[in-house]
A and B are shown apart, each in its own frame.
Chain A
Amino acid sequence: GAVVSQHPSWVICKSGTSVKIECRSLDFQATTMFWYRQFPKQSLMLMATSNEGSKATYEQGVEKDKFLINHASLTLSTLTVTSAHPEDSSFYICSAPGWGTGYTFGSGTRLTVV
């Protein structure tokens, strides 16, 4: 079945630094990738949609200069949290349209900014 590999699974970074999260579709081509953020005990909130070869579409209220999304190939989409601050600490998860099950989720990245 469709698999999306997400790395890293967890990361701790200092305030002011940048962190890159990768999502790779292993056995299919993902022309679209959805990026979600989930704060503790809350729902998954869509941040942006990346499309291979074009600019990402950001949801209202999401700073595109802070959350840089790149979808340079059919199998790789990346989210870079720039100048991270403690309030950016969250669970970030990607999702791609898969086969059969509709959407294939990555395993998520727990980001802690100290």
Chain B
Amino acid sequence: GENVEQHPSTLSVQEGDSAVIKCTYSDSASNYFPWYKQELGKRPQLIIDIRSNVGEKKDQRIAVTLNKTAKHFSLHITETQPEDSAVYFCAASISQGAQKLVFGQGTRLTINP
């Protein structure tokens, strides 16, 4: 089955700097890659996703890149703000919604003022 590895487990950056979180996946059949932000005790909140027919997607300060050959994808947050501090999870599934979603281990991002 699918295995998703996420790094780093913790990341601390200065406000205004960029943050990058990386994930690798094992199943070449996976074709949907969402990123979630989770506040303590809350449900995961989708921040951006990408499908395997696209190499990059951007939404304001957030971008995701996908390298299908290497089977890895990354989250990029630019101009970080204190409210970006949270735990971020990457995930992978085969076809959007139809198959189980496997999560990475999570990254605790801290933005220092």
Is the Cβ of B34 less than 8 Å from the Cβ of A46? no
State the CA gap A44–B34 with chains docked (Å): 14
Q: Find the A residue at minimum CB distance from B46.
A: A101
Is the Cβ of B101 less than 8 Å from the Cβ of A46? yes
- Which residues of A have CB within 8 Å of B101? 34, 46, 95, 102-103
Question: Interface 1/0s, chain B 38-59, versus A by CB < 8 A?
Answer: 0001111010010000000000
- Which residues of A have CB within 8 Å of B41? 91, 108, 110
| Closest chain B CB from A18 CB (angstroms) | 23
User: Number of residue pairs across A and B with beta carbons under 8 Å?
Assistant: 49
Is the Cβ of B32 less than 8 Å from the Cβ of A102? yes
Interface size of A in residues (CB-CB distance below 8 Å): 21
State the CA gap A95–B49 with chains docked (Å): 16
Additional A-B contacts beyond A45-B103, A46-B101, A103-B34 (7; CB < 8 A): A42-B106, A93-B43, A98-B97, A102-B96, A107-B43, A108-B42, A108-B43
Interfacial residues, chain B to chain A (CB-CB below 8 A):
32, 34, 41-44, 46, 49, 89, 93, 96-98, 100-106
Q: List 11 A-B contacts (CB under 8 A).
A: A43-B104, A43-B105, A46-B100, A46-B102, A91-B41, A93-B43, A97-B98, A98-B97, A102-B32, A103-B34, A107-B43
